[in-house]
Chains A and B, each alone.
Chain A
Amino acid sequence: MNAARISAMLVKEYHDAKSNVQVLSVVIVPIFLAILYSRMDGELDFAASFVFIMAVTFVTMYVQALLLAEEKEKNTLQVLLLSPASSADIMVGKSIISVILTVIVLVVSMLIIDVNVENPIMLSVILLVALILFVALGTLVGLLSENLVQTTVYLLPLSFVIGFGPMIQMYFSEGIVGDVLGYTPGSFMMEACLAAINGEAFSAYREDIIWLVGWTVAALVVTFITFKKKSLSK
């Protein structure tokens, strides 16, 4: 990988994203939810965990998918792949902007909700794994979509199941819906974040983290295979 080319990609993404209305609008969603929850009486640990899931779903996955699909729609991705930049330079450079935006949204949300985190290191690890998972999912959606409209069609149900899954699960805790939703990455992330915020023993959420890492590995493998199959690699 070449640092200068990755940095060029990042600067390009910044210039392009700062006037991209779609990107700016999805960034607002988790912050809006954080403001809303901070004014409601309730459990702050749950509110914070839910906003974290929203941040990785709406910011990381959405932004990653939108930026990639737009490159495909405007035929700029092919131009990039015909440049001396490697596939890794291009994909890493493209991912950094969605990661940076997510980190900003996470920090701002935490400041707004003002939740006391008992185990910040473990929470950071969980969020890092989630970031990688949702970058991979966003890349996958971007690769599978031919244009921006198709991206939205794929993203809406996916973000609904992942983002709102833990909430829906609360109302369907028994039965097949609850069982299925219990295995979505959002559910594992919710459990792990809650435990880290409350400073529970690692053994209490070890299984959730293993599942989350499993999802991440699976998403990375599927995304890599799709990348190869779509003939986008060099």
Chain B
Amino acid sequence: MDYALQVKDLSKVFGQQRALQQVSFNVKKGEVFGFLGPSGSGKTTTVKILTGQLLQTAGEVNILGKPASKMKDADLGRIGILTDNSGLYDRMTVQQNLDFYAKLYKAAAGRVEEVLQLVGLAEDKKKPVKKLSKGMKQRVLLARAVLHKPEVLFLDEPTSALDPGNVQKMHDLLRDLNREGTTIFLTTHNMEEAAQLCDRVAFLHEGQIREMDAPNQLQRKYAKNTIHLELKNGQNETIENNPTGAERLYQYMQAEEVLAVHSDQPTLGDIFIEVTGRKLA
């Protein structure tokens, strides 16, 4: 199997605090992997270790086949990073910012124009960054992160400060990038976002992975064997998915009282609460 990321028994201790404990997972090339957890669960620490910014206390971390802590400058050219606190040179224009990074990464000629089109900022390229909205700045950051066509893209809460319209645009961009072959490692506490974008997700809680699988597999695993009925009289009823429940449903249908039938499929948020006993925040 060709893996972009391999993490085995990763632990990180800060003083007395255990930030990560025996975390293990692999991310296949071309996969969108969601790393989900509330604030303080260890997501950002994991990204910092994966990108060589922080050294682990124990365990093995390989990125594109090499230990993360031994990445050379050239290896950094194979990854892209977008964190929620990434900065831009706000006195410079969008194009000046991207031209600068294109030179640092030795991106192909014409790539700046290409990514400007990709993120929908071609019309605004002459604007100083300080005059852009938060959503536009986030798109510039994404453009910068993908300028050099990274093989692995790390996104740490990429939509945390965006309105729903911009979140949708960002999701479309990420899908396009993934279709082009970029492996995406997404950390978020937004379960809806993870369900929409990720091939697989891992739930991180208090520094440990509590569950890991494809979102639909998790939904199947944690599905309740019940069906939810909405009745014409305004009442709701939950029935078991078994012969007794079928009998009950048949009765309601014969009496023409059924307005809608819903499955009780849990969301990723519901599953997270069930697994960890706490809500995401």
Contacts and interface: CB of A to CB of B under 8 A. Distances in A.
A74 interface: yes
A85 interface: yes
Contact of A84 (B74, B85, B89, B96): B74
Contacts of B88: 74, 76
A20 B90 CA distance: 11
Given A12-B92, A16-B92, A84-B106, A74 B100 contact: no
Interface range on chain A (Cβ under 8 Å from partner) = 20 to 34
Nearest to A234: B73
A17 to B, nearest CB: 9
B275 interface: no
Contacts of B92: 12, 15-16
Interface stretch (A3-11, A36-44, A102-110, A189-197): A3-11
A111 interface: no
Contacts of B76: 82-84
B281 interface: no
A82 B91 contact: no
A230 to B, nearest CB: 13
Q: Output the residue of A15, A75, A76, A82 with the most chain B CB within 10 A.
A: A82
Nearest to A231: B53
B81 interface: yes
Contacts of A83: 76-77, 101, 104-105
Interface residues of B, number: 23
Interface in A20-79: 20, 74-76, 78-79
B87 A74 contact: yes
Given A4-B106, A20-B91, A74-B87, A82 B81 contact: yes
A86 interface: yes
B139 to A, nearest CB: 16
B73 A8 contact: no
Given A15-B96, A83-B76, A84-B76, A4 B91 contact: no
B104 A75 contact: no
Nearest to A90: B104
A82 B76 CA distance: 6
Contacts of A74: 87-90
A127 to B, nearest CB: 30
B86 A75 contact: yes
Top-9 shortest CB links A-B: A8-B103, A74-B87, A75-B87, A84-B77, A76-B87, A12-B100, A84-B73, A19-B91, A83-B104
